Structures are given as C-alpha cells and as structure tokens.
Amino acid sequence: MKRRIVITGLGVVSPIGVGKDVFSKALREGKSGVSKIEHFDTTDFTCKIAGYIKDFDPEPYIDKKKIKKTARFAQMGLVAASLAIEDSKLDLSKEDLTRIGVVIGTGMGGLGVMEEEEQALLERGPKKVSPFLIPMLIANILPGEIAIKYGFCGPNYSTVSACSSANHALGDALKILRAGEADIMISGGAESVITPLGVAGFCSMKALSQKNDEPTKASCPFDKNRDGFVMGEGAGLVVLETLERALARGAFIYGELAGFGASDDAYHITAPDIEGKGAILAMEAALKDAEISKDGIDYINAHGTSTLMNDRVETLAVKKLFGDRAYKIPISSTKSMTGHILGGAAGIELIAILVSMQGGFIHPTINYQTPDPECDLDYVPNVSREQNINCALSNSLGFGGHNTTIAVKRYVK
C-alpha cells in the first residue's frame, strides 16, 4: 500500500497577503492583488500592471546582510519556508535533519539579479560584477538556502518546468516520502520576475493583458473579454510528512496530498494542444495515483490564466474527461486575484485549496462578467461559495507543453 502523505504546515507570500490567515481572508473576499507597476518605468511597455508585492519585508526572517546577497524570489521562498515550518510546529531539535529534504519549483530564478549585474558589466566593467551573481540567479539556490538555514541534509533540488514547476516539485516530494527516502519534505514554488526584461519578454509575446486602466479587473479567467494574463510574484511552500509521523507528534493536518500526474503535449513551445490531450493525461494520472474516481472530485483549482487559448483548452479538457459531470464541478482560478506567479503558482494554489478546505468555502474567479460560449462551466463567478471540499484537483500547464495535476483530499482518519 502507498504511504499516505499529509500537509502539516503552510507558508504563503502572495500579492493578496503574507501568511495563511491573511491569504485565506483575501481569497474568501475575492480581493485582487494587481496594481500598476511603480518600481520601474513602464512608459514604453504594452502591459503596465502586475501582482507586485509592494510591502514585502523579509527582515523578520532573513538577516539584513543576507538579504543583500539573496535574489527576491529566494527571499520570498525563505520567508514562506519559515512560515510553513513555524505553522507545522515541528521541533527541529528532535528531528533527524538528514531525513528532511527540500524540493522547490521556480521557472526563471534570479532574473532581476541578472539584469542588474549585466548593467554593471556594461557600464563599469567585469570587475564590478558581484561575486554573488551566480549563486543569486541560479534556480536551485532557494532549496539550498533553506537547507543551509535549517541544516536539512535530505534530498534537495529544484524543478524547472515553466508554470508547472511547483506542481512537479510537489509530485517529486510526494514520491520521495512514499519511497521512504525522507521523513519530511518542504516543497512548493517561488517566483519573482516582475522586472523590465521579464515584463518586456511577455509583452513581446503578446501574452499579457493590456487593461492598464483597470488593474484589479485585468485578470479575468474564462471571461469572453480576457486579453492575456497578469504577472504575479510570491511563494507557496508546505510541510509534507507521512501520516504516521504526523499522528505520532500530534500535528494538525490540513489535508492529504493524494496523487500526482504529469504529461507533455508534444505540440508547441508555448501554445497548448488545441484538443487538451496533455491536460487530460495529467488529470487522469493524478486520479489514478490518488485512487479517486471521477465522481469523487468536487472542486478543481484551474490553471486559469486569463489567456484566450489556455482557458478554452483547459475547459475542453475538463469536459472531455468528466463528461456531463463537468458542469457540476465548481472550478475557480486563484490567478484572477494573484495574477500568474509562473513557476511558483501551483504552490500558492495548493495552499488556496487547503485553506478553503479548512474554511468550508470555494474561492471565486473574480472579474467574470461576460460568459464565453466556449468556457461554459461553473467558475464560481465573483463571490465565494460556502461549500465543503473533500477531493480536489489542481492543474498547472506550462510552456514547453508541460502538464501537471495534483490531487488533494480532506484528511479522514
């Protein structure tokens, strides 16, 4: 029998709040974290808005000197890890630290650091490039930093698969724990690339919304008038452990990470397969791994980016997989509030499911005003719904055709 893996700690840094309680309240209220970009000049940018965390303060969790040597995505990840470990009430002095691992997803690493140091190179020469450039920008530095901070010597690495990165990390952590290769895993994702180059790149792809005059309404997944996604930033990390360990130490259990599925479209570098083939395969695999029937799913946290093609294809995939029952499954997009946190999105969206599961509600897809005939499912429009979640799926679909789905269950003894 597969070992049951449960979630016992939550740590979230997001555009709608830092910490699980603030985050949960914002989700229930349908709060948007999107605003105009003010930390660099957007005059020549077609998109001038993002889910940027203006008041992010890592100092309570990271030493001042360390902050200067750490990229923003890693700062957010370190804060989220600290919050998750605190929340889990683990007594690390009593744990075998060689049996605690860290697997975290990120799509682009320290892009902002790269931009700043390239500018130093061009303006002042190679001797002015920081000796911390390489360790600050590499994607794997965050799990390494967490291990160094806490002394965790178990499996430690990053997963990089664009917007599927955090779900891949969670899937790997699940497998590591089931295999008995660790007792505890810290997992999820982090991303912070709301930088001139990052925004310009997505603008050039014509992937971003241009609703610059209405920032809080720009991310509108499944709405007929959606015109692109809104970038966000943040980190969502959880503490995972076997059910036996959690029960033995009397831990509070938020839910069970029950299954994982992954696939690739093998179709296009950025566009999803128009028939939803890869998304269907990922959802099917997660259901099989979790040993949940299609009838057992009562909520789906959608990838739901607010792009024309993604929302249509994801909707189609759900309808093909679930048939007529697709119309009875509530679906919502956390990205309608946070924006798209890219490689970190799935970690935050897992936490969205867990706090909703605990709170007895389903958070809304905000900004849903005009129905799209091709997106005709129940997207829980605009207002949260009081409803229990027992079994949920969370989809993440990334550039390169990467598709990932995790299955989450309410904990039942």
Tell me the domain boundaries of the chain.
1-401
Give yes or no: 168 in active site. Answer: no
Provide the pLDDT for residue 85: 98
Q: How far apart are CA 403 and CA 283, in angstroms?
A: 9
| Catalytic residue, candidates 168, 340, 363, 402 | 340
Provide the pLDDT for residue 1: 80
Q: How far apart are CA 277 and CA 272, in angstroms?
A: 9
- DSSP E strands: which ranges in 160-297? 184-191, 234-242, 255-264
| Catalytic residue, candidates 303, 363, 375, 402 | 303
* Tokens encoding 387: 């409803």
* Cβ within 8 Å of residue 210, ≥6 positions away: 46, 47, 227, 228
Residue 206 CA, chain-centre distance (Å), reads 22
| Catalytic residue, candidates 163, 203, 220, 391 | 163
Residue numbers in the chain where pLDDT is lower than 70: none
| HSE (side-chain half, CA atoms, 13 Å) at 236 | 33
List beta partners, residue 397: 403
Provide the pLDDT for residue 199: 98
User: Strand 385-386 and strand 184-191: pairing?
Assistant: unpaired
Give yes or no: 39 in active site. Answer: no
Provide the pLDDT for residue 413: 85
61-99: pLDDT as tens digits: 999 999 999 999 999 999 999 999 999 999 999 999 999
Query: How does DSSP classify residue 215?
Result: G
Rg of the chain over CA atoms, in angstroms?
20
The CATH number of the structural domain formed by 1-401 is 3.40.47.10
Look at residues 162, 207, 190, 160 and name the one whose alpha carbon lies nearest to residue 401.
162
Average pLDDT taken over every residue of the chain: 97
Query: How does DSSP classify residue 366?
Result: T
Provide the pLDDT for residue 209: 98
158-209: pLDDT as tens digits: 999 999 999 999 999 999 999 999 999 999 999 999 999 999 999 999 999 9
Give yes or no: 340 in active site. Answer: yes
Query: How does DSSP classify residue 222?
Result: T
Provide the pLDDT for residue 286: 98
